[in-house]
Structure 1
């Protein structure tokens, strides 16, 4: 199995992987680990009570934290094991099983968070489809916070080009969820994006 395999390929080869992932974060939570860094950044971007889409919500730690902060959260993930865990561990948000490359919830959100390397687990040929579907679910004045590491085979320049090609504009690039500046040697990217039609800086040329 390639280290850059999609989530679907990983779970097809190892049916226990999803439960391992759930148990990993339940263990970290039980140990008192700080698991809310992504949610803190997103909360700072939005007025209290905003509608937030947690795209690739996994077992719900980010969306759960945003719900506890007072936001109205919908989480979407293609893995039913992870969504079932979110329903148990983080009641309150609406948790849905759906494919980020094709989903259509028929509504838009004030903000979107896509954390945990989610975009890198999408099949490479479908990443622009996912970015297109995410844009379709965002209010014109909204923003998306999306983060992933460079160890997953999706280069930052390639991602930025894909985002620009699918109608996203860059507001700010960071190297961590705790607001450290993005640098050329950064191993992680947190991109704050908005619809290009709503203004903002263009992507790479």
Structure 2
């Protein structure tokens, strides 16, 4: 079953994910140091960040595994190439100055999937290209787990609860619309700084910078920049 957040209720995505785009996009743009970069937005969602990067003068391609989210991104970024792909196995060519990826790597819960996903992203970069990541940080994610929230977006009521067990965040989601209730449970695996450094270096990335998340309302995220060795 596809996560309803990415499928059946994808039209409510922007009402539920409201962290501001500009701080993260500004951080990426400033690190690139120039407009006109060729960027792959891997796991683009509805294209909010891609549109802002295009507004900064970059050429952005869209990539996502959800056809519903990708459709919204296409509409928001009509001139961008759109790729419906699994990020772990997407056909890659080293044609990008930068790859951006927010949140997706938290969904990789095994070492093998993590390695495959990072290798796939790195394979898209030209020598000297930059990889920008937003991931959950393990210790802060563990401290935050155990709570819940409820959001009303139009005729949708979205309820989520989390708990920590065996190094994973276990998430229970409930989607309520008139006459219908959908539930979905899944797990996420946050990252330690050492894990990030190890997997990035194994895949040829150097000059790794890891700092607190940018543009996030909660303190459980990391902003990561790494450069592909020339």
Provide the TM-score with structure 1 as the length reference: 0.75
Change in Cα spacing, 1:154 to 1:26, as seen in structure 2 (3 Å) is closer
Is residue 125 of structure 2 the alignment partner of residue 138 of structure 1? yes
Change in Cα spacing, 1:17 to 1:137, as seen in structure 2 (3 Å) is closer
What is residue 195 of structure 2 aligned with on the other side? 158
Structure 2's unaligned 5+ residue stretches are: 142-187
Deviations 1:65-95 (A, max 9, x none): 1112111101111111110111123322212
Instruction: Note if contact 2:135-2:223 (Cα within 8 Å) is conserved in structure 1.
Output: yes
Higher strand share: 2
What is residue 51 of structure 1 aligned with on the other side? 38
Q: Secondary structure at the match of 1:84?
A: helix
What is residue 177 of structure 1 aligned with on the other side? 214
| Number of matched pairs | 176
In 2, the alpha carbon distance for the partners of 1:27 and 1:168 equals 33
Q: Which has the larger radius of gyration?
A: 2
Structure 1's unaligned 5+ residue stretches are: 1-11, 179-185, 199-205
Instruction: Note if contact 2:108-2:189 (Cα within 8 Å) is conserved in structure 1.
Output: no
- 1:95-174 superposed matches below 5 A: 95-115=82-102, 117-124=103-110, 125-150=112-137, 151=141, 152-156=188-192, 157-174=194-211
Deviations 1:41-88 (A, max 9, x none): 111122211101101111111111111211110111111111011112
Which of 205, 216, 220 is the aligned partner of 1:187?
220
Shift of 1:168: 1.7
Higher helix share: 1
Deviations 1:160-192 (A, max 9, x none): 2222222222432110226xxxxxxx6321111
Shift of 1:139: 1.3
